[in-house]
Chain A
Amino acid sequence: MNQPMKVGLALSGGGAIGAYQVGVVRALAESGTEVHSISGASIGALNGAILSSSSSLEQGSARMGDIWHHLGTNEVLKVNKSAYLRLLTQFGLSMGLSPFLSKSGTLISTLMSGLGVKSLSALQQDESLLSDQPLIELMNRFLAPDALARGTPLYASLYPTEGGMADIIKCALAEFGVGKTQNSEFQHIQALPPAVQREALLASAALPLLFQSREINGKHYSDGGMGGWATLQGNTPVTPLVAAGCNMVIVTHLSDGSLWDRHRFPDVTIVEIRPQTSLSRNIGVLGGIKDLLGFTAENIDSWIDQGYRDSLAVMERIKAPLRARQALNASVTTLANSMSQNADSSAQLQNAMARLK
């Protein structure tokens, strides 16, 4: 109980729903929470990088808000989104294979490559559609390398790719419960050389542009959200925070009914920020994919607001019983002290009464 508190913040992957984390961070900042370590997968890694390079949660929340406002109002991703949608529609891969944008993107890319689809190959060679340049420009604009190097420890979830075809088959099998993907690795970003830090973030980033694996220290990595598919080990990166000594971890989920289980970390106090209402903003067969790619101002604002409200609701639910227990413990201590004084007073009275006899 008297153990010093070290707080970690785990930011899951989830594509455009990553805006939800802006609201979460805003609520945490307003509550005065201090975060000592951050981990992220896919879009969570990018959000985490912005947060890590900020001097405080307040500043991080504001900067994240600016970035997501930029994503929602600019044409940076327009071509890529439409191409992505086109591809998903064309190949019928919107069957709910993955709730995560980056996973889907990787799967799509790998699957198409493995199948030798001509049109996909053409797209892959199209720099305007699949180039990482828009994301790189975004990072250059909003992410200060020096601030990141000095910032809060950040851990990015990276999936060690075994090749496109192997990855997609493993993911597909894991999705249907007949196989599993290997676990993601968690890279301490500040421990990497500055030039490699951006590569690691790009490898883990969940934006739909990111289709290519990245080489880090001689090893190829792709979307960290694919790791530990059944348990969401890679997409909900709590493991590196626990390894870093965090005894309290705040976990943000970017999907409805996430199957990530807190019981895998029995020695850590975990607060899960789960959606109180559905995160879906689109219905129909392609609704999930539209949500994942829904970088519209309207969607982003609604997810930010939902993240903020959900966080406040979760903290409020925890706050009441903790306050009651704390008050109870305090009252027990006070009662014990009072009883001790009462005993002394009683003894003094008895002595005084004995003198009267």
Chain B
Amino acid sequence: MTLFKEIFPEIEACQVLECIPEKFVVDFANGIDVVNDHLRSSQNQSFFQRIKEGLSGRSSVRHQAINASLNDGMQASLTWLTELTSSLAGTNLAVSRVNERVNALMQNTAKIAEYSADTREQLRELASHVNQRVGKLEEQLQRVDSIQQGQLHFDRVFSNWSAGRYAALPLAGRCYVALEELRWGAFGDVIRQAETKQAEQFIEMLKNKALTQMALDYGTTSNARHDVRSWLGWQANAVQNTVWPATINWMADWCNEEIHPVSWAVTQSYETLPLRMPRICSAERIADTMVDEVFSEDLK
């Protein structure tokens, strides 16, 4: 171990590097002890010692030694002060650089924060937009599904009609029953929920299908006119054996003789026809009018 290590016990590098301490620092610090020794020695001298030192020149030598040590101290102070000032200048420069970088960091942080806020706003807008789009897609899907269901319902009802399920009813009664079933089912939902144009398209399709099926059941063409009673007349056995007349009468209790003459004639009293009911009519006339009467409320 060396003195230097003892001087810097806590600095690891000094335990490894056996280097000498800086001379000017040692001279500076140790010079204080030298000066103190000379001053104390001078102060404690007897009269004869002072005379002898004065005569021998030792007094002058001692003062020179004191001055030399003081000069060492001043030189060391200057050196140290210069180094310290340089170091301080470097430190200040470093601090200013750090400050500049801190400022830049703060500015960048602000930019990032703004960017983050903007991004969040954009994300929010995007989420809203996506939600709207998804909502619309859902609506469209529901609509497509509804249309699909309505179409299936439409096909099923006319499948029943064409299969003869309503054969016990009068020709016009078959149309009324089919229209009522469609109105209260998925097809009716499509008519009520769809856009007007689309609903009108469905209504048009319904009219076409109904008049075609009625004409087919009658064995005539769609625009061939026949006695109205041939459209309204029940099969003789059907009236006695079924509850159809009472059922359709109850189902159509909403209709009015003046406003819904075709429906009224078909469901309420085909023996006493309303004044507005044509006595001779085609399948087209009966189907178109009945569709309008049944779905009149839904198309408003």
Q: Which residues in A have some Cβ–Cβ distance to B below 8 Å?
A: 1-5, 7, 28, 31-34, 95-96, 175-178, 230, 247-248, 250, 253, 256-259, 261-263, 268-272, 274-278, 313-315, 317-323, 325-328, 330, 332, 335, 339, 342, 346, 349-350, 353, 356
Contact = CB atoms under 8 A, between A and B. Distances in A.
Contacts of A95: 48
B68 interface: yes
Contact of A274 (B33, B87, B90): B33
A20 B94 CA distance: 50
A256 B22 CA distance: 27
B1 A34 contact: yes
Contact of A177 (B11, B37, B55, B87): B55
Nearest to B86: A332
Contacts of B5: 32
A314 B32 CA distance: 9
Contact of A269 (B1, B21, B40): B21
Given A34-B2, A256-B44, A278-B44, A322 B32 contact: no
Contacts of B28: 321
Given A256-B40, A262-B34, A327-B11, 19 more contacts: A1-B22, A5-B2, A7-B2, A32-B1, A32-B3, A176-B52, A177-B58, A248-B21, A257-B38, A263-B68, A269-B23, A275-B37, A314-B30, A317-B29, A322-B21, A325-B80, A330-B13, A332-B87, A349-B104
B6 interface: yes
A317 B112 CA distance: 54
Interface string B15-57: 0011111110111111011101110111010001100100111
A82 B140 CA distance: 131
B161 to A, nearest CB: 69
Q: Is the interface of A mostly helix, strand, loop or mixed?
A: mixed
A130 B104 CA distance: 88
A244 B107 CA distance: 63
B91 interface: yes
A261 B58 CA distance: 12
A258 B22 contact: no
Contact of B98 (A268, A313, A342): A342
Given A31-B6, A315-B7, A321-B25, A3 B20 contact: yes
Contacts of A33: 1-3, 6
A247 B8 contact: no
A339 B90 CA distance: 11
A237 to B, nearest CB: 18
Interface in B204-243: none
Q: Is the interface of B mostly helix, strand, loop or mixed?
A: helix
Given A318-B7, A322-B25, A342 B2 contact: no
A177 B57 contact: yes
A34 B37 CA distance: 26
Given A34-B2, A323-B8, A5 B26 contact: no
Nearest to B42: A257
Contacts of A349: 104-105, 108
Q: Which 7 pairs, one residue from A and one from B, show the smallest C-beta to C-beta distance?
A: A257-B41, A32-B1, A177-B56, A274-B37, A177-B57, A31-B6, A33-B3
B11 A325 contact: no
Contacts of A178: 56
Nearest to A178: B56
A318 B21 contact: yes
A276 B48 CA distance: 23
A356 B19 contact: no
Contacts of B199: none
A7 B7 CA distance: 14
B251 interface: no
Interface in B232-272: none
Contacts of B80: 325
15 contacts: A5-B3, A34-B3, A96-B48, A176-B55, A177-B58, A256-B44, A262-B34, A269-B21, A272-B30, A315-B3, A317-B33, A321-B25, A322-B8, A353-B108, A356-B111
B141 interface: no
B94 to A, nearest CB: 5
